[in-house]
Structure 1
């Protein structure tokens, strides 16, 4: 136990809403003593306001349940007595504390602990900190959330698991963590009290080093295909190996591309074994030609699979102990010098940033990589990361006291000694954008998950102006322990007086005043923008010629022009100060920080000027306002309409062989769409589509209901109603184990709440993306629990791998055409139409088909899987282009009938499958 924290009351409230004057409708208390729950208390509270349907759908509490409940006045004193003098625990304390304070008319004097904050401190790598997600991660049973007593129980159990995590932490680490948090707070006292009961974890043995001088592999490049022979090296190393012709065919195409210095486009679906098919020939080629192999992927999952499993296996099977490294962009790594400076000045930052810094102290003690991607950062924490990230502008290189144990340089040293470097598409493109320097020299690159390459390239060449980030940068400059004051203080004691310190002080004073003025200007500009009706509920507002002539943009652009002038003047003064102090060696670190901040402002100025000018027809510009719990923001973007020429010049023309591979590159069973997208001439590349190793004729079928409405002829609301109606029939017919894919959260949420309140589906676990925890926790539930129905949006269309009986039905609610309002897509469509081409046939349709194939591909993941793909959008039957969607899927039985008959067929089919 942790002294002083072994007794507490876990509390949860249900209310009439989220607004400040929301009334309490249910209270749940769980009394904890040590590791035991010793009592509980629950009551409904009758509100004076009517209960909304949304709250009833969310909590299951109906107006009838509250009819005879006591009023707040009836239970007020009883509750006060139960809470008197107790340590209170809640998940998301500001909400519960605020509602109680409103109800009591004053803030309670109790100390509060927040299980959310404790989880952020000790589990910083989780993908979600919702209570339901934490329960899933920590193995706490959660029979039904959004009810007060249940959630209080779950919060108590989660906190007990977190206390155990605290006790396993090194006491010296706990002391450092506590020192960063606000003084005299329950959370800091918890860590300080835990120091005496915690124990340092046992040190892990270091991984053995890879041989520097590797012996020759057991196979030469000319005979690479023999690796997959029935009696080959793979069969010898893997007792369960079954020969797959597709692997050998894919390997042959890659070997030819490498030999002939050509590119390759290869579609290889699930079950092909494409990782080995490209790694084996590429490794042998790199060895024999003394070259380095770069493998680029889009997801962390595939990077980890390659690094942790595939490459170690190939080292053993090939008898070839090559070196391999995962490398990421520089700002993905934490800079120790900048981090310790922030920790030193923690009393100058807000409590949220203190919590962030404290969590990193423990995380870095356990993670030797210093990699941002290991963490789950929210939008605010991404901004905090900017102040501690490794950057070229702030780096002191060999003069840094942490140079020898720098996360970034350690990774770079490892990469330079490696034959294989695994990167993500982002770093690959950043290296191209900077024309080298981030990655060692290479001539061959394999790009897996290549269907993401174009979108990532568009992001890399998109400039962004983040006004809230600029405002925070200004605030950081002028705060008492900020760059300007630190620079002024150190300048007075610099041993080399190469400047007039009085002049420096005057410049710092002026800049500090200007920074304060700019901070206010940025805040006012954001506040003005978020109130504009034209930006309300609009994700991205493209700045077309028509929009630029509208009054709201005229007003906003005038304010932005004023910001440009003020920023320009600030930058000019800042550059003069930087020029005066950068010659002093003792001021180098601070001068670099100032230079980095000024470079950020310069980039914003250049992008703003470009957006306000709007004359470059090769660019598309848009604006986005954000209103969120953590604050408001205004973002402006500038992107290239056509990214293909850049990729052609900097990638395909610059490298001997670029191997593009993915499970979804073909449209109408041809790869010309992908080749044309990257401007590849036919004579420069080889193309190959691997045949599927699965028997779709017996493993699956497609069904399209004929009695579902045409999406193009009804409203979103009516279409959502029909989707919910169809799912209500489908779910019992297949007994759950279903993934339903949506193209919008609005439709997903409408269907989700309709299904949740349907009592006929009470036997099924229905999980909604954005409603019931993180993507990973939802998938984990589906993998472990039968009769689960998952409603997923964008990210669930790919990367979901649930083989076996836990996923037997994939439902596609609507064909995944991109919204016509998306700025880059709409600008590309306009350009195609101006060239006399059909934007629908050349852009919208191919992209929708590829996305459609990704969604349908979630079903059959192994030779043992059986199931059905149900497509509710019957435009597949009524539109000419429908044949292209169906024709893009593997050949399998197709059923078109009314929903009742489809459900009957599904029942019969699954019953036969289980016999």
Structure 2
């Protein structure tokens, strides 16, 4: 198609359904030929119907702009003539082309016939790490101008430039990559195969150089080994003026903060003296730079890396991308840094190559393979988290994650995870997550050895990570998925393929197939019997506020141990048969084709997965450790048995953390525990005690800068109903009313934080039903699709938005500036008394003679409350209000402890009406 004309089309319409009367209100076509834009066409279209208010807001196209425009009937033939003989291009051809074809049919104009290119499909393949493929997002990422999104002329222009960027990128890919892409491109939904073929012809003619290596014919970009900087150029700046001069290099508008300097001194002293400290560093001080600067200088001094650990991989990446670069700028030295995550976060090139040999692929698998082939020519980390794939593609990603350190020689040379591990010892800073850091103490081959210090950021989450690492989860859906990989004898499935291979090399194939299927049937029936038993159990204590979610302890399931043992016995018989087949086939590997070997490796992989499942079954159902673990069952009565999960979790993890600390101390390194929330009034060492940190370790609390919260306010709405005195529905009605009025008064940009997913959903649905916030983007965790970070990105993208969140939105998300005007607290964030780990810990405290409320429930809630407030003000320029709807803050004696835990911010107790008036006055100024 290299000499073809591409017609890049964009439509704006009154809605999505031409059959229901929706019409075009603007059409634009940009013509591209020989790598350049050659012509443009754009016009408004009179739809002869009302344009919905939402569409007017979205497109900025008003009824006055289309009133004198032609009807589509008047231009349909002209548009059709322009498109004849062109390649149709759109950012989502399923919408633009199908809508246009419907309108051609309505206007009795011949339908367009030809090839089509969907730039969404093309972008996903060629830019596989992009965070979003919405036109405005991908355009911004690629530096393509898009003055007004959702205007057809601007959108078509941006899409044309996106097409040109994509065509250019195709010609830069290695020939081997293009060959592998072209082979699969005929399964795509648009005619991208022609573009790849054109690029392949271009690359074959022109000898292009690239920096890719080859792994079994697959081009990949090798990871580069960093060099550790050991320099005497820098002594730690002990004088504040020296710190000031250094930090000015990293910030265009540097604000001096005495608390930041003091924190830096504490970190330096701890690392230098190889001691230990707990440091609470609230928002506004500059905590991350405060520990990175002394950590980097300590590494320069010793020639050994300092480890920085934080809670999530997202935070790991943010430190690496933003703050490490700032450190390099401040110190004017190439401070080397390596991100280290768990091995399962990295691609196994060997596993990927094996799966390429298997010819039967779904669309999702083919598409994901194409994304990975392009990504491998770019990534230097091999971190599969960089990929943005579909839900079906995620299943494929899970199959190519690295699972073992035992690899063939050629894979050892190319393996990204191994390269990252090697790079750690050549880096000044190792940035990792709590999970990776904790599990290192149990590894034979340690990653974090020969280091010169450890900084544990978001330290209040360390216990949660330790608990999760020691947790076992049996999910019905996950079990069924693994069983299905081996148990389905349908044609084309793994079992069918394996038995064909077995028959080729063995005379007992029919007998073994029958024996295997009989053992699978018995094992599967026993599994379903257990699942059915657990799914049918009713918990009479299930509280109404849990909604459809049912939780009860495994201890309440009496007399079923024989059933659990029967299931594992039958499972072991089945696994024995799987192993017999595997061993028989192993002796014939030399005679197998590459395709047959790939199936054998798949068979071995899923057999191992099933053995892991067997171990988990014994651990959860048959090992008795009630004093150390609690085991419970969760299910949703709307989806049984699919929603069934059995979870085994430790009650107390301080011993795990103490073991981790003792291993670290053998390295003779300084340990800094830090977070924005580590201490609470009346129990400063609550978090330290949960972590098992010695009472001898000093705890320092640093204060936020003066005037940091000058633009913040706290409102307690005192005419809300008392939670305990009204029905849940009445309280939700009051919450919905308060949210609606607050949103209208502020213009949106609010977080509404809940402690219950059920209450969140019901409040959200009530607000949707009211239609009073139809002009706002309402984003609800657990209702709107997407991860926490995706929901947050959607919230930031709309000027008029409201985000409804539960536990994970109380902390760890930053929305600086005017993007967040208020945080509404629906209920004080106490852990539900029905939460099983909490219940077990409370019972343990009671047995020890302690009060579970004052020793556990209240401190946890106050910490979460402080974290919720921390979402509001992220810089001294931020203005916002913290709105509390729960009357217990003033009616209960413990309410004062919540307020005392917050920074010194003016508190007003007032009615909802008065608060709304004050907000309106504030935002109308």
3-state SS, counterpart of residue 688 of structure 1: strand
Please give the alpha-carbon distance, in whole angstroms, between the structure 2 residues aligned to 1:622 and 1:41.
61
Mapped to 1, the partners of 2:56 and 2:538 lie a distance apart of 34
Task: Provide the C-alpha distance between the structure 1 equivalents of 2:56 and 2:514, rounded to a whole number of angstroms.
Answer: 55
Q: Is structure 2 residue 833 aligned with structure 1 residue 820? A: yes
C-alpha separation between the residues in 1 aligned to 2:210 and 2:634? 48
Residues 364-421 of structure 1, C-alpha deviations (whole Å, 9 max, x = no match): 333232212112456654432232111216x4242xx343222222222212322321
CA shift digits 1:534-554 (9 cap, x unpaired) = 5997556343322446xxxx5
**Match of 1:545?**
555
Query: Which of these residues, 233, 254, 259, is aligned with residue 218 of structure 1?
Result: 233
Q: Which residue of 2 aligns with 1:353?
A: 365
Q: Secondary structure at the match of 1:605?
A: helix
| Post-superposition CA distance 1:665-712 (Å, at most 9, x none) | 2222753001110122211x1211111114256322211011011223
1:565 and 2:569 are equivalent in the alignment: yes
Q: 1:32 to 1:795 in 2, by over 3 A?
A: farther
Residues in 2 aligned to 1:832 and 1:155: alpha-carbon distance in whole angstroms: 62
C-alpha distance in 2 between matches for 1:526 and 1:650 = 37
Q: 2:470 aligns with which of 461, 472, 477?
A: 461
Q: How far is the alpha carbon of 1:600 from its aligned partner? A: 2.1
* Structure 2 CA distance for aligned equivalents of residues 134 and 518 of structure 1: 52
1: CA distance between counterparts of 2:392 and 2:758?
25
Cross-structure match for 2:108 = none
Q: Tell me, what secondary structure is at the counterpart of 1:427?
A: helix
Q: 1:133–1:772: 8 Å Cα contact kept in structure 2?
A: no
Unpaired stretches in structure 2, ≥5 consecutive residues? 32-40, 58-78, 102-110, 213-220, 540-545
Contact preservation (8 Å) 1:253, 1:686: no
Distance 1:156 1:564 in 2: 60
Aligned residue for 1:334, secondary structure, equals coil
Moved more, 777-786 or 274-283: 777-786
Change (3 A) 1:242 1:12: closer
1:396 aligns with 2:411: no
TM-superposed deviation, 1:440: 4.2
Shift in alpha-carbon separation, 1:90–1:654, aligned structure 2, 3 A = closer
Superposed displacement of residue 423, structure 1: 0.7
The 1:773–1:675 alpha-carbon spacing in structure 2 relative to 1, beyond 3 Å, is closer
Stretch moving more, 870-879 or 310-319: 310-319
The CA distance in 2 between the partners of 1:627 and 1:43, in whole Å, is 49
Matched residue, 2:752 = 740
Match of 1:604 in 2: 613
Task: For residue 611 of structure 1, report the CA deviation from its aligned partner.
Answer: 2.4
Q: Over the residues paired in the alignment, what is the CA RMSD in angstroms?
A: 5.2
Is the Cα contact below 8 Å between 1:526 and 1:633 reproduced in 2?
no
d(CA) in 2 for partners of 1:902, 1:309: 38
Select 2:651's aligned residue among 627, 641, 646.
641
Structure 2 counterpart SS, 1:414: helix
Q: Counterpart of 1:678?
A: 691
Residue in structure 1 matched with residue 432 of structure 2 by the alignment: 423
Deviation at 1:476, TM superposition (A): 4.1
Deviation at 1:122, TM superposition (A): 5.0
| Aligned with residue 349 of structure 2, among 336, 351, 363 | 336
Match of residue 167 from structure 1: 167
Q: Distance in 2 between matches of 1:340 and 1:873?
A: 56
Contact 2:243 2:261 in 1 (8 A): no
Q: Counterparts of 1:511 and 1:530 in 2: how far apart (Å)?
A: 29
Look up the SS of the partner of 1:252 in the other structure.
helix
DSSP 3-state at the match of 1:905: helix
| CA distance 1:673–1:471, shift in 2 (3 Å) | same
1:308-707 matches, cutoff 5 A: 308-318=321-331, 320-345=333-358, 347-376=359-388, 380-392=392-404, 395-398=406-409, 401-434=410-443, 436-442=445-451, 444-477=453-486, 502=506, 509=513, 513=517, 517=521, 532=536, 534=538, 538-539=548-549, 541-548=551-558, 561-576=565-580, 595-613=604-622, 615-617=624-626, 618-624=628-634, 632=642, 634-652=644-662, 654-655=664-665, 656=668, 657-668=670-681, 671-683=684-696, 685-695=697-707, 698-707=710-719
What is the distance in 2 between the residues matched to 1:822 and 1:559? 27
TM-score (norm 2): 0.76
CA offsets 1:314-368 (integer angstroms, 9 cap, x no match) = 34544654432111111111111211221221x3243333333233222333323
Is the Cα contact below 8 Å between 1:813 and 1:872 reproduced in 2? yes
Deviation at residue 12 of structure 1 after TM alignment: 10
1:890 maps to 903
Cα distance change of structure 1 residues 594 and 731 upon mapping to structure 2, 3 Å threshold = closer
Q: Encode CA deviations 1:729-754: one digit per residue, 9 max, x unaligned.
A: 32343343433223344433444455
Summarize the alignment of residues 724-739 of structure 1 with structure 2, pairs less than 5 Å apart.
724-739=736-751
Q: Given that residues 720 and 747 in structure 1 are in contact (C-alpha distance below 8 angstroms), is that contact kept between their aligned partners in structure 2?
A: yes
**Residues 321, 33 of structure 1: alpha-carbon distance in 2 compared, 3 angstrom cutoff:** closer
When residues 743 and 213 of structure 1 are mapped into structure 2, their CA distance, relative to the original with a 3 A threshold, is: closer
Report deviation, 1:297.
1.2
Give the TM-score, by structure 1 length.
0.77
Q: Is the 8 A contact 2:755 2:806 kept in 1?
A: yes
Q: Which SS does the other structure have where 2:733 is aligned?
A: helix
Give the drift of 1:299: 3.2
Give distance in 2, aligned partners of 1:382 and 1:459: 22
Q: CA deviation at 1:272?
A: 1.2
Deviations 1:210-268 (A, max 9, x none): 87474524333xx4433764664334665643332112221232334335543221111
CA contact (8 A) 1:112 1:186 kept: no
Task: Identify the match of residue 850 of structure 1 among 835, 840, 863.
Answer: 863
| Contact 1:251-1:277 within 8 A present in 2 as well | yes
1:882 Cα deviation from its structure 2 partner: 0.9
Indicate the SS of the match to 1:257: helix
